[in-house]
Structure 1
Amino acid sequence: MRLKYEFYIDAQPEDVWDTLVTPEGTRKTFFGCVIRSTFKEGDSFEYVGPGQDGDETIHVYGKILTYEPNKVLSYLEHPSSTYHANHEELESRVTFSLETVGTCTKLTLVNDQWTDNHPAYENAEQHWWMILSNIKTVTETGRALNFG
């Protein structure tokens, strides 16, 4: 199973990168969540924000695989125990890649290496479109989309 998306954003890679990793950017684009991490390869990360367990709900967690500012962010992720009792067994890899194309930035997202029968696959398939559309809009305009 593999999900792949490509978006062209009218901004420089540095601006798209800020939207992907800074608290200001992720709060607007990942449904109010921020990434907690040192961003060192091999270190852990968490997406934390409003949810079933309050404002400090851990939605996904995992390990940073690659962190090359303005180029590549890749990590292995697990859904938190809030969503699945067997969360440690459920895993996928997420890779964001940035590439300059003319005066734009091409953002490619690949979400692959899913464990068999991963219950979050369909949810990810639906929500990545929203998240990536929001990354594009926030980077270009500073405003998040209102999905209701």
Structure 2
Amino acid sequence: MKLEYVFYIDTKPEQVWDVLVNPEKSFKAFMGGVIQSTYQVGDDIQFVGPGVDGDETVHIYGKLLQYEPNRILSYTDHPGPSHYAEHAQMESRVTLSLELVGACTKLHLINDQWTEDNPLFSKTEQYWWMILSNIKTIAETGRSLDLGF
């Protein structure tokens, strides 16, 4: 099982990267979550934001697999403990890569290596379109989409 998306964004990779890692922008792009990480390969990565456990609810956690600023972010992905009791057994891999194409940025996302019978696959398939569209809009305009959340 694999989810794969390609978006072309009318700005440089540095601006797209800023939307991914700058908490003020990523909070909007990831619908209320920000990345917490040392950004050292092998260390933990979490997407944290308001939720059932308060303002620091862990929505996604995993290990950082690759990190090259303005180019690639890859990590293992587990749902937060408050979302599923069996969160530790539910895993996939997310790889976001950025490439300059002309004066635009090609954002390529692959979400693969899903554990068998992972119930998040179909839900994630719906949300990536919204998240990636939001990243594109924020990088190009500075505004986030009103997705009704």
The TM-score by the shorter chain falls in which range?
over 0.9
Shift of 1:96: 0.2
Deviations 1:94-132 (A, max 9, x none): 000001111000000000000001111111000000000
Equivalent residue, structure 2, for 1:133? 133
Equivalent residue, structure 2, for 1:122? 122
SS in 2 for 1:125: helix
For 2:103, the aligned partner's letter is T
SS in 2 for 1:105: strand
How do 1:78-97 and structure 2 match up within 5 A? 78-97=78-97
How do 1:1-148 and structure 2 match up within 5 A? 1-148=1-148
Please, what TM-score do these two structures have when normalized by structure 2? 0.97
For 1:92, the aligned partner's letter is S
Shift of 1:147: 0.7
For 2:24, the aligned partner's letter is E
Number of matched pairs: 148
For 1:32, the aligned partner's letter is G
Shift of 1:55: 1.5
Percent identical among aligned pairs is 60
SS in 2 for 1:88: helix
Pairwise CA RMSD of aligned residues?
0.7
Please, what TM-score do these two structures have when normalized by structure 1? 0.98
Deviations 1:59-79 (A, max 9, x none): 010000000011100000110
Runs of 4+ residues over 6 Å off in structure 1 = none
Deviations 1:33-69 (A, max 9, x none): 1110001000001100011222211101000000001
Cα distance in structure 2, aligned partners of 1:20 and 1:93 = 17
Please list every run of 5 or more consecutive structure 2 residues that lacks an aligned counterpart in the other structure: none
Cα distance in structure 1, aligned partners of 2:21 and 2:118 = 26
Cα distance in structure 2, aligned partners of 1:80 and 1:32 = 14
For 2:130, the aligned partner's letter is M
